[in-house]
Amino acid sequence: MVEAEARYRKKRLDRGIKVRADTIFAIASYKEILYLILPRALPVFGLLILPFVLTDYWGKVLVYACVYGLLALSWDFLASCGLFSLGQAFFLGIGAYIAGALSYYFHWSPAITMPIATLGGGVLCAALLSPVVRLRGVYFAMVTLMLPMLLMKMIETTGLLGGAQGLSALKPLPKGWIGGYIVVLVFMTCIFSFRRLINEDYGLVMKAIRDDDRAVMSAAINIYWRKIQALFLAGATGAFAGAFMTHHYQFVGMSTFALDYSILPVAAAALGGPGTFAGAALGSMILVPLSESLRALGGMRIAIYCGILIISVIALPEGIFHYLERKYHQFERLVRVG
């Protein structure tokens, strides 16, 4: 072995498909086409097939993972323009309660309440958070952390919208796999459209606001309006997840404002690798099933779960997806020396 190490060294190359501009690809063979398409197509096929092959229980876990995934995507999108939120539960809860109230008081079907909750939730989140878009970093995070608690206590004390009991016996989603399929499809649409958006000029300006907002202001761009737009998109994504959950469980209660919904998406994005959306999605696809499979361990579950999270953040601070992406574009081989 020592001899081999002496005469060979590892050579690492970056695959060079990209040509100068980001948007132009020079594709020479079916291999290169597969090289580009497979990493995108395989997860899509996987997610489309999973609802059919999974057992009833794991099918529910998949739906849950998609809901958390949507929240993680929404968090990642806000973070891309420098708004670090600790209140994804706020988005989720607003969407859940809009859909729940429309279904409970007006008996509207999910086909109507879910689009209304998505758009209305986005508008409401953007409007309620617009006074604080001037805050940055930890101050914005603190406000968003408080908001779900504020709404939860308001519902509890006033007894509005079902109070502590919540609203139950709501209209169900279509039976069978269709219900679960909706969230899977929206989840995938969000990944790809967010990834596209962030690579366009629009996303470039968003990331520039995160890096240096004064430079962007001096370029005559209303950064607060851009941040409100980001809040709308992120809010709508979270609100859809909430509206879906409401009809999925045919129930909406104060638990939609729980801290879990705020913290787990951040953990998922941190584990998967923030800033790529695919990382946030991957993170939630790992964390949610992991937390379910540890359920048998009882009280030890949370401790093990936290341990895994800490180890992964220390060992792979860039996130799993960044690591995989980098390795995918590199190939290593041994080269003879001398």
Partner 1 sequence: MGEEAILRAEGLNKYFGGVQAIADLSFSLRNGEFLGIIGPNGSGKTTLVNLITGFVKPSSGRVIYRGEEITRKRPYTIAGLGIVRTFQMVRLFYNLPAYKNLIIPLSSSRVKRLRGGAYGERDDVAVDLLDDMGFERDSFVPYKLAGSLPHGYLKRLDLARAMALRPEVLILDELFSGMAMSEVASTLPLIEKYHEEGLTIIMIEHRLKELFRVVDRVLVLNYGQKIAEGSPQEVMNTEAVKKAYLGIEVDV
| Stretch near partner 1 under the rule CB under 8 A, chosen from 7-15, 135-143, 157-165, 199-207 | 199-207
In 3D space, the residue among 213, 222, 205, 242 whose CA is nearest the CA of residue 124 turns out to be 242
CB of 22: closest distance to partner 1 in angstroms? Answer: 9
Angle of helix 56-80 relative to helix 278-293, nearest 10 degrees? 140
**Interaction of residue 320 with partner 1, rule CB under 8 A:** no
Cβ-based nearer residue to partner 1, 44 or 204: 204
If one asks whether residue 29 binds partner 1 (CB under 8 A), the answer comes out as no
Identified binder of partner 1 from the candidate list 28, 218, 296, 333, rule CB under 8 A: 218
Phi, psi angles (nearest 5°) of residue 317: -65, -25
Does residue number 217 form part of the binding site for partner 1 (CB under 8 A)? yes
**Does residue number 6 form part of the binding site for partner 1 (CB under 8 A)?**
no
- Residues 63, 180: contact at Cβ < 8 Å? yes
- 76 vs 213, which CB is nearer to partner 1? 213
Options 41-49, 197-205, 310-318, 328-336: segment touching partner 1 (CB under 8 A): 197-205
Nearer to partner 1, 3 or 201 (CB): 201
Judged by CB under 8 A, which of 2, 16, 55, 201 binds partner 1? 201
Which positions ≥6 away from 57 have C-beta within 8 Å? none
How close are the terminal C-alpha atoms of the chain, in Å?
Answer: 17
CA distances from 242 to 59, 80, 90, 118, 331 (A): 18, 22, 10, 9, 42
Q: How far is the CB of 217 from partner 1 (least distance, A)?
A: 4
Q: Smallest distance, Å, CB 282 to partner 1?
A: 23
Q: Under the criterion CB under 8 A, does residue 295 sit at the interface with partner 1?
A: no
Nearer to partner 1, 184 or 208 (CB): 208
How long a stretch of residues is the chain? 338
Asked whether position 133 contacts partner 1 by CB under 8 A, the answer is no
CB-wise, 154 or 217, nearer to partner 1?
217
Query: Could you tell me which stretch among 118-126, 209-217, 258-266, 297-305 binds partner 1 (CB under 8 A)?
Result: 209-217
User: CB-wise, 204 or 300, nearer to partner 1?
Assistant: 204
CA separation for the pair 238, 150 (Å, rounded): 18
20 contributes a contact to partner 1 by CB under 8 A: yes
Say whether residue 221 binds partner 1 (CB under 8 A): yes
Which token pair is 39?
């990493």
- Least distance from C-beta 198 to partner 1, angstroms? 13
Work out how close the CB of 212 gets to partner 1 at its nearest, in angstroms, rounded to a whole number. Answer: 5
Shortest gap between Cβ of 134 and partner 1 (angstroms)? 11
Cβ contact 304:294 at 8 Å: yes
Number of residues that bind partner 1 (CB under 8 A): 19
Contact set with partner 1 (CB under 8 A): 20-21, 201-202, 204-205, 208, 211-212, 214-223
